[in-house]
Structure formats: C-alpha cells, structure tokens
Amino acid sequence: MFSKSIALFRANVGVFAVLISIYGIGKFCTEIFVIKNSYASTLFYIYIGHNIQVAILKDESLVRLFGYVPSFPGLLYILKCAFIFLFGLLLAALATYTVANLMPPLVSHKGSITGLLVVIFVVTMPLSLALFGTWLPADIMKREKSVGEALERGRKKLIKTYARYFVANTLSLALPILVSLLLGRIGNVVPTSSPAATLFELASAICVSATEVLSATPLFVLPAMLYRDAVFQPTPAQKAG
C-alpha cells in the first residue's frame, strides 16, 4: 500500500506538484476571501482518488489521465463514496449514542458528544472502507460491481484489511494537523503586516495541501489493490507493489 503510493508519486511527481499547487492556491484564496470550500474539496479528492484507481487498475499514466484524457468519476461512483462515508458516520453515531447512555459522565461537558463522535468515527470509517472499499474500483472496471460482491470481498481478511485502512486513515488525519501546528508556530514570528506574511500563508497552504494529498493517497491506492488482487490475477510485480 505505502510502497505502491510512493512508487506512484515518484513516477508522477509533476502531476502531483500541479494538483497540490492548484489545491493549495485554492485553499489560500478561500481563506483570504472567507469562502466555504468543503464541497469543492470533497469533489477534488474524489476526482484524484478516481484517477489514481484508474491508473492502477488499467495501467494508465497519471499524466495522460490528468493532462490529455481526463477521467471524471460518474455520479454512481460519487454516490458510492457518499454511501461509504455515511455508513461509517452511522456506525459512529450509533456507537456514540450507546456510549453516551452507558457512561453519561463522558458526555457531561459542552461539545463532548461531538468530540466523542469524531474519535469513534476515526475507528468506524476504516471499517466501512474495509467492508465496501472495493465497490469503488469495481465501478471503474464494471466487473463484480454489486454491493453484495463488494461486501463479500470485504469480509475476507477483514481484520488485516481493517488494520491497513486504520493506519492509512489515521496518518491522513494526523499528519496535516501536525504540519499545520508546526507552521502555525513558525508563522508566529512572521510580522503580520509585512508582504512576507502573505507569502508565508500561501506557502503554508500549499505545504498543508501537499501533506493532505500525499497522506491520503494510500486510501485511494488500497481499494484498487484489494479489488485487483481479488478479481484479477496480478503479476508478481503488481503483488510486490
């Protein structure tokens, strides 16, 4: 998973640099003009994830996919992404409700329920991905693409698959936060009224965007690898990746 992600990045450094720059500049502009960009960010990640999975499953070049023959996710692919997210959120909500009823002191403070929900969601989202993650690449290949077949694939080696998703998901959440905190400390010494402050904010937005995209890449890579290994006969080189 991680070795395949690194190999993908090394082979497509230019593509990642352009995407990260666009995303970072967009993030910077939304902060400057106070624009909500949650929907745009979500679609951006779905677009990147879709193309990464196409590249892995069809041995396509990311340069070709992003530059010459753009591959856009269809509505069904986007709806499947929404289903996986909402299923993980539903599990987290049910678990939060159960914990809140069994241990009321945990949710006695303001905002504690939201905090508990977020913590549990970090645990349940990888489970949703482990169960239904291969449903996304199946939509790309149009083979064994029913939700039942995806669930059957997910049930096999569930604990090992869940562990891989949990590690990847945790890193994708933790690393951007750590980078943001570090840049925030550095930014404290930059004069707020100087042109350097604006340049630093732009550089910080790009840096955080790079961390977000690169740390999330294994979450895009893993479903494609699991689907490929379950449905097709991968070559030794693909298994090594």
Q: Looking at residues 64-77, what average pLDDT do you find? A: 75
Mean pLDDT of the chain: 84
Q: What is the pTM of this model?
A: 0.84
The boundaries of the domain holding residue 84 are 2-240
Question: Of 22, 84, 62, 79, which is closest to residue 213 (Cα–Cα)?
Answer: 22
Structure tokens at 44: 């951006």
Q: Give the span between the Cα atoms of 88 and 121, in whole angstroms.
A: 7
Q: Out of 80-89, 176-185, 197-206, which region has the weakest mean confidence (pLDDT)? A: 197-206
Instruction: Point out the least confidently predicted range of 71-75, 127-131, 174-178.
Output: 71-75
Summarize pLDDT for 127-174 with one digit per residue, the tens: 999 999 999 999 999 888 889 999 999 998 899 999 999 999 999 999
Confidence of residue 80 (pLDDT cuts 50, 70, 90): very high
Rounded distance between C-alpha atoms, residue 22 and residue 3, angstroms: 25
Where helices occur in 12-157 by DSSP H, the ranges are 13-32, 38-58, 62-67, 75-102, 112-132, 135-141, 147-155
Q: Which of 46, 59, 44 is nearest to 7 (CA)?
A: 59
Mean pLDDT of the 215-231 span: 92
Overall domain count for the chain = 1
Q: How far apart are CA 176 and CA 206, in angstroms?
A: 11
